Structure 1
Amino acid sequence: MAKAAKKKKPNRSIFWWIGVVPHLIFKWGGRALLGVIAAVFLLIGLYAFVNPPTTIYILQESARLDGIRREWRDFEDISPHMPRAIVAAEDANFCKHWGFDMQAIRDALEDGGGRGASTVSQQTVKNTFLWHGRNYVRKAMEAALTPVVEAIWTKRRILEVYMNIAEFDEGVFGVAAAAPWYFGVDAKDLSARQAAALAAVLPNPKGRSAKRPTAFLKKRARQINSGAETIRLDGRSACFEG
């Protein structure tokens, strides 16, 4: 009885690999990307109720500095002056937009990119889910995720998360850590002047200090203090105070 012929191994030339490898990369890379997107969307829904335990940037800084200062504080346990000061400093139309301040973007474009146009919502998305640094991929992800966060979270929740993960000095994250670090007081006892000084440190906490304020920083804090009172009186703080 004749032996069965041995099965020939396919002759996979370099041209076969050139055709298959990109397909496999695209296939599995696409699946990995969809998995990451699904995980981020899951976290957005979860973080509407659960406090973020940490962030990419906080982990990076903790490793670099061998530890950081951070303590979570609920919105109602933070001085009401603080959210007003942050909105006055970073995003005066916070209560009016859906994540992007189109007027601020137009002004920034007319100014030739000399001023920032990121809203508190965008900064919260970046700080919570993404990484720091100027990068087109990050900016695209930030733009995609911001409307989702605005749709799921309340304005009050956006501010609450922002106040707890923003960096106010090197390795000092959140208002609960920043208040005693700078002024020796609890976050709920911050005065309007102190809250404005903290907000003035943003968005450059490594280059500015409320302990050693420059003339520019003092002037900026006075402007923020005045702006915070203005948005209180004209109703632009109603979405997180009502």
Structure 2
Amino acid sequence: MAKRAKGIFRRTAGGLLVALLLVFWVGPVLAVAVYRFVPPPITFLMVQRAFEGKGFERRWVPLDDISPHLVRAVIAAEDARYCQHMGFDVEAIEKAMEANARGGKVRGGSTISQQTAKNVFLWPRRDWVRKGLEAYFTVLIEVGWGKRRIMEVYLNSIEWGPGIYGAEAAARKNFGVPAKKLTAAQSARLAAILPKPLSWRAAKPGPYVKRRSGSIRRNAGAVRSQGLAHCVLD
């Protein structure tokens, strides 16, 4: 009887181990492989916002149909070392930790790659499990997708207002133009509202967003002159 119980326990434990491997190793690898070629259909945040009554508007477009001005603007605003790191900007993380240790406003050190991994594959709430999975997915997409695909997915998936997702929907909603026709000034405004897309507006910016977008536009010029977007733009 004891041997039989022990055998059942071993089979159950073995089954659980296989299931965990499928969920936490094989599953993510397959998902990343599929999304290398197929647009991610929907994210956890999109579902959450829909239940909150925010609506849903998104139009997926290839990276070639998104203005280079917007690529440079989001790099300038969100991740200036995007083309230099492999998913994790150690320098930015250290600066964020130092700033947070001094108190005051909490700073983040997430890269565009990390934000993409979180937005596409994971839930919005912050916890240690999500952070661990975020790191794992970040490595997977850096290896499996490369910088151009990460940027393409990022620009097509991030939130740009209540129920507004992706560059195409944001460009048409705010400026009445396709993403490919965005100017440098319009791109800087869209990049400026990324930290608070539900409360800040690109089309009718307040004083702070105006100042922030002006700074981003100047930094985007530096991104262009210094070739900091070379891994995305030809």
TM-score of the aligned structures, taking structure 1 as reference length = 0.86
Shift of 1:62: 2.6
Considering only aligned residues, what root-mean-square deviation do their CA atoms show, in Å?
2.3
Letter in 2 for 1:35: L
Deviates more, 1:54-63 or 1:42-51: 54-63
SS of the residue corresponding to residue 133 of structure 1 reads coil
Distance across 2 between alignment mates of 1:177 and 1:30: 43
Q: Say if 2:187 is the partner of 1:199.
A: no
Q: Say if 2:214 is the partner of 1:226.
A: no
Letter in 2 for 1:187: A
Distance across 1 between alignment mates of 2:111 and 2:62: 21
Query: How do 1:1-242 and structure 2 match up within 5 A?
Result: 29-37=16-24, 38-65=26-53, 67-112=55-100, 114-242=106-234
Distance across 1 between alignment mates of 2:40 and 2:223: 28
Distance across 1 between alignment mates of 2:138 and 2:16: 24
Shift of 1:154: 1.8
Letter in 2 for 1:90: E
SS of the residue corresponding to residue 112 of structure 1 reads helix
Distance across 1 between alignment mates of 2:199 and 2:21: 38
SS of the residue corresponding to residue 167 of structure 1 reads coil
Distance across 1 between alignment mates of 2:162 and 2:19: 34
Shift of 1:110: 1.0
Letter in 2 for 1:168: W
Unaligned 5+ segments in structure 1 are 1-9
Distance across 1 between alignment mates of 2:14 and 2:44: 27
CA deviations 1:210-233 (Å, max 9, x no partner) are: 133221111110111111110110
Larger gyration radius, structure 1 or structure 2: 1
SS of the residue corresponding to residue 87 of structure 2 reads coil
Distance across 1 between alignment mates of 2:139 and 2:55: 33
Q: Cα–Cα, structure 1 residues 214 and 152, in superposed 2: closer, same or farther, change >3 Å?
A: same
Distance across 1 between alignment mates of 2:61 and 2:37: 14
CA contact (8 A) 2:114 2:138 kept: yes
Shift of 1:65: 2.1
CA deviations 1:72-94 (Å, max 9, x no partner) are: 01100111111111111000000
Shift of 1:27: 5.5
Q: Cα–Cα, structure 1 residues 194 and 27, in superposed 2: closer, same or farther, change >3 Å?
A: same
- Percent of matched pairs sharing the same residue: 43
Unaligned 5+ segments in structure 2 are none
Shift of 1:66: 7.0
Letter in 2 for 1:213: P
Letter in 2 for 1:214: G
Distance across 1 between alignment mates of 2:212 and 2:223: 16
Letter in 1 for 2:200: R
Distance across 2 between alignment mates of 1:139 and 1:172: 25
TM-score of the aligned structures, taking structure 2 as reference length = 0.89
